[in-house]
Structure 1
Amino acid sequence: MNPFSKTIFFSFALLLLVCGGCQVAKNSTRRGLQNLQNEDLMYQYSIIDALMAGVFDGDLNIAGLKTRGDFGVGTFNKVDGELIMDKGRVYKVSFDGSVSEVSDADSTSAAFVKYFKADTVITLTGENLSYENVQEHLLKILNPNGIYALRITGNFTTMTTRAARPAKPPYHTLTQHLKTNQAVFEIKNTQGTCNGFLLPPYLARTNVPGFHLHYLSGDMKAGGHIFKFTTGSVRIEVDIAKGFVIENNTNPEFRAVNLKPDRGEELKKIE
């Protein structure tokens, strides 16, 4: 074999190796995404401590997020509003209170999603039933070590939510940003859906322990991160996850951020 032939041979062999590796990676990714649904797992992009520390940009677009679940919550790049996913569609509640279905080209800096399939349904009724009452009831009957996706629907007498204004670089911590860059909405006599999760304490620093839900009104005119509500009756669908998968944020900000500090107390103040 002459030198020129050797060069062609080795180049071709290298190309086959690279392409083969690409195909293996693609197949592994495809199998991994299928497992999220088949194995009943919660998926999250980035971790809550990174968002708390000011990692406000990410590389996962909404089209990609939709391959990882059809239900969930999160935010967008620059913490531009509140993300809610329901039945495979993704909506943004903006700082001005408006609600819109977002483009697949938009991106998220943190999101927590799952393929939702209720394992049980609970109906609660009572005069001036509050968000706190609902939480107390669920905490009594659900295992404290479980991972639960919750869809709560009803007519709400009052609903208090928030949405964040998009941040401008250089970014500060989320707590600092929200001090002067969040709008709080007092919504009256609204019908809609609360989507989110109840997570155990052992997921602290990766996700939000306890309850984390976002609201979307049925007329798509109001919503946001839920602080409190009152109602006369709610229907609670509970989906029990078998585990969770974390994908690190691939944005350079994530690699540079200091994740040593425990931001649990900061998180309590804004949740």
Structure 2
Amino acid sequence: MKRTLPSMILQSFFNLLLGTIFLSGCHTARPSKQANSHTKPESDFMYQYSIIDALMAGVFDGDLTIGQLKKKGDFGVGTFNKVDGELLIDRGHVYKISYDGSVKEVADTDSTSAAFVKFFKADTVIRFSGKDLTYEKIQEQLSQILNPNGIYALRISGQFTSMTTRAARPALPPYKTLPEHLKANQAVFELKNTKGICNGFLLPPYLARTNVPGFHLHFVADDKKAGGHIFNFTTDEITVEIDIAKGFTIENNTNAEFSKVNLKPDRGDELKKIE
């Protein structure tokens, strides 16, 4: 797909950081106003429980319940205690995509060891269309449009001709590092002609070691029969809703193991291999 947004519209996008943009093949974008108005100022921030380096190092349990997490955001991604599957929140519903491929809505009494959430309200909508658009191409286009220093919640919806995802098997103590655990304990799903949503974040490099820099998205099918952490997809048309966060807040994992783990090593290269 060629870049076709006129410089005037791009400048307007960055100045206003709101509006609706439609990209269809190589047609021109058309912005319109759509203000982001949350009832509480703090609700326009990304909230995260624990940090990605702690999860990478094997801190697989946390004390935050799903009920408590839902008070921090109605949209997001993460995992559960023991890294038991992939967590996806959409419109306040919290789903677990398990190692066996099943999807279920979880109880508020379940707990998470790492989660990244936000109250979602789109500031901008972009529609991409074209034959065999890939996840990589979509990432390239969004990276060209969006300011690299911003924090963005992304909700991508559409029909996918293919979708490659994974889900982790729950770990047993004593826990290994996440890369070691995933070597033999992740299921990879090759989905075909599936319709659903991809929720997650596009985060800047300066959040490395606390979160996943770049794109981090999870998928759930509309029929709630498949999903997982996204590795790749192809599509002919998708809609991308973008919610621009004002900033972020971090709550350290309150489990005792967090205070014992060695967080000095830089695990960036390890993270790239599993993402």
Query: TM range, normalised to the smaller chain?
Result: 0.7 to 0.9
Aligned to 1:22: none
Q: What amino acid is aligned across from residue 130 of structure 2 in structure 1?
A: G
Corresponding residue to 2:232 among 200, 203, 228: 228
Q: For 2:109 and 2:68, locate their aligned partners in 1 and report how far apart those are by CA, in whole Å.
A: 9
Letter in 1 for 2:83: V
Task: Provide the rounded CA distance (Å) in 2 between the counterparts of 1:120 and 1:94.
Answer: 32
- 1:256 lines up with 2:263 in the alignment: no
For the pair 1:92 / 2:96, whether they are aligned, the reply is yes
Q: Secondary structure at the match of 2:95?
A: strand
Partner residue in 1 for 2:66: 62
Matched with 1:136 is: 140
Amino acid at match of 2:214: G
Question: Tell me, what secondary structure is at the counterpart of 1:73?
Answer: strand
State the secondary structure of the residue aligned to 2:180: helix
More helix by share: 1
What is the count of residue pairs matched by the alignment? 237
Question: Normalization by structure 2: what TM-score?
Answer: 0.85
Q: Report the Cα offset of residue 36 of structure 1.
A: 2.9
C-alpha displacement of 1:35: 4.7
Question: Which residue is equivalent to 2:171?
Answer: 167
CA distance in 1 between counterparts of 2:67 and 2:131 reads 42
Partner of 2:42: 36
C-alpha separation in 1, matches of 2:65 and 2:84: 14
Describe how 1:228-247 pairs up with structure 2 within 5 A: 228-247=232-251
Partner of 1:120: 124
Q: Share of identical aligned residues, percent? A: 75
Superposed CA RMSD in Å reads 0.9
Query: Deviation per CA, 1:44-75, whole angstroms, max 9, x where unpaired?
Result: 00000000000000000000000000000000
1:36 and 1:68 in contact (8 A); partners too: no
Runs of 4+ in structure 1 over 2 Å off: 33-36
Structure 2: any 5+ residue segments left out of the alignment?
A: 1-38
Q: Is contact 1:36-1:115 (8 Å) kept?
A: no
Which structure 1 segments of 5+ residues have no match?
Answer: 1-32
Alignment partner, residue 6 of structure 2? none
Whole-angstrom CA distance in 1 between matches of 2:116 and 2:175: 22
C-alpha deviations, 1:74-131, integer Å up to 9, x for none?
0000000000000001000000000000010000000000000000000000100000
Q: Structure 2 CA distance, aligned partners of 1:250 and 1:196? A: 23
TM-score (norm 1): 0.87
Distance 1:121 1:136 in 2: 16
Cα-to-partner distance string for 1:203-226 (whole Å, 9 max, x where unaligned): 000000000000000000000000
Q: 1:64-213 counterparts in 2 under 5 A?
A: 64-213=68-217
Deviation at 1:155, TM superposition (A): 0.1
State the distance in 1 between where 2:47 and 2:67 align: 15
How far, CA to CA, are the matches of 1:133 and 1:49 in structure 2? 28
> Aligned to 2:140, what secondary structure does the other structure show?
helix
Q: Name the residue aligned to 1:5.
A: none
Q: Which residue of 2 aligns with 1:13?
A: none
Between the aligned partners of 1:35 and 1:247, the Cα distance in structure 2 is 18
The residue type equivalent to 2:107 in the other structure is: S
In structure 2, how many angstroms separate the alpha carbons of the residues matched to 1:270 and 1:124?
A: 27
**Partner SS, residue 133 of structure 2:** strand
Q: Deviations over 1:118-145 (max 9, x none)?
A: 0000000010000001000000000000
> Could you report, residue by residue, the CA deviation over 1:153-185 in whole angstroms, capped at 9, with x for unpaired residues?
000000000000000000000000000000000
Aligned AA for 1:66? K
Per-residue deviation at 1:267? 0.1
Distance 1:176 1:224 in 2: 19
